[in-house]
Amino acid sequence: VLVYDRLVAPELVDEAPEDALRIAREPLEQEQINELLVGYGRAGLDVVRLKGGDPYVFGRGGEEALALAAARVEFEVIAGVSSLTAVPAAAGIPLTHRGLASQATIVTGHDAPLDYAALAQPAGTLVVFMGLGRLAEIAAGLLANGRDPATPAAVIASGTTDRQAVVTAPLAEITAAAAELESPALIVVGDVVGLAGTLEAAKPKSTLTITS
Ligand SMILES: C[S@@+](CC[C@H](N)C(=O)[O-])C[C@H]1O[C@@H](n2cnc3c(N)ncnc32)[C@H](O)[C@@H]1O
């Protein structure tokens, strides 16, 4: 049984054996997924739950693992490379860099209210998952709480794929600059974004890069 998410590479889904039962996660509620995993696991089938990146990074992998543990179904987690690190790297942005950022803060823009007073502190790099739809609010929240309007910011959409699009701009201009981008996207704010131009220029160009 293969239960897979929308963001996983289709090539990986194609690697499942022909007689595998393939179940797309998207129409299902989280509770239904948990029940499926527990049910097929208890039935003794080989079950693969295929997610993008690291299942324990904003992937609800922890919820599914807890359901399996509660049902005493054995499982193993094999983490892939999270977009947290792979996507900024593909855009020429080191998350940390000596002298520029010695810490990184990771938040989801999906549902939870964000503590802009805390996030506006200039220490380190800020990475926002699932925040593209709230980009204007996020930028305004950071600026209203004192973040320098000139702070380098980036939005990276479909990072590492052949549709990768990267927009970099000062924080005060990032919303307008990234208006055309579509999810999935990561927002990165901090001085490390300022390295992107130099690091991108040093590698072969195969992606769309807009800088304003
Ligand atoms: C539900 S989270 C899953 C994250 C995943 N577990 C990981 O470790 O990368 C989905 C969000 O991750 C980010 N994301 C995943 N793949 C991405 C990509 N190729 N480019 C940009 N952002 C990506 C986006 O913020 C997207 O909305």
Residue nearest to ligand 1 atom 16, measured at CA = 83
154, 96 in Cβ contact below 8 A?
A: no
| pLDDT (mean) for 49-57 | 96
Q: What is the pLDDT of residue 212?
A: 60
pTM: 0.93
Q: 190 CB under 6 A from ligand 1? A: no
Q: What is the pLDDT of residue 209?
A: 63
Least confident window among 30-34, 109-113, 160-164:
109-113
Residue nearest to ligand 1 atom 3, measured at CA = 59
Tokens at residue 70, please?
A: 């509660």
The DSSP result for 57-118, as a single string, is SSSSHHHHHHHHHHTT----------HHHHHHHHTT--S-BTTTBS-EEEEE-SSSPP-HHH
Residue 80, pLDDT > 90, answer yes
Least confident window among 3-7, 101-105, 175-179:
3-7
| pLDDT (mean) for 27-48 | 96
Among 51, 58, 82, 108, which residue has the most ligand 1 atoms within 8 Å of its CB, making it the best to mutate?
58
Q: 186 CB under 6 A from ligand 1? A: yes
Q: What is the pLDDT of residue 193?
A: 98
Q: Distance between CA 55 and CA 62 in Å, rounded?
A: 7
Residue 118, pLDDT > 70, answer yes
Distance from the alpha carbon of residue 42 to the mean position of ligand 1, in angstroms: 30
Least confident window among 4-8, 33-37, 72-76, 135-139:
4-8
Q: What is the pLDDT of residue 7?
A: 82
| pLDDT (mean) for 142-170 | 97
Q: 158 CB under 6 A from ligand 1? A: yes
Q: 138 CB under 6 A from ligand 1? A: no
Q: 7 CB under 6 A from ligand 1? A: yes
Which residues 6+ apart lie within 8 Å of 93 measured at CB?
A: 154, 156, 188, 192, 193, 195, 196, 199
Under the banding of pLDDT at 50, 70 and 90, the label for residue 27 is confident
Residue 205, pLDDT > 80, answer no
Among 4, 5, 6, 7, which residue has the most ligand 1 atoms within 8 Å of its CB, making it the best to mutate?
7
**Dihedral sign, CA of 181, 187, 191, 195?**
negative
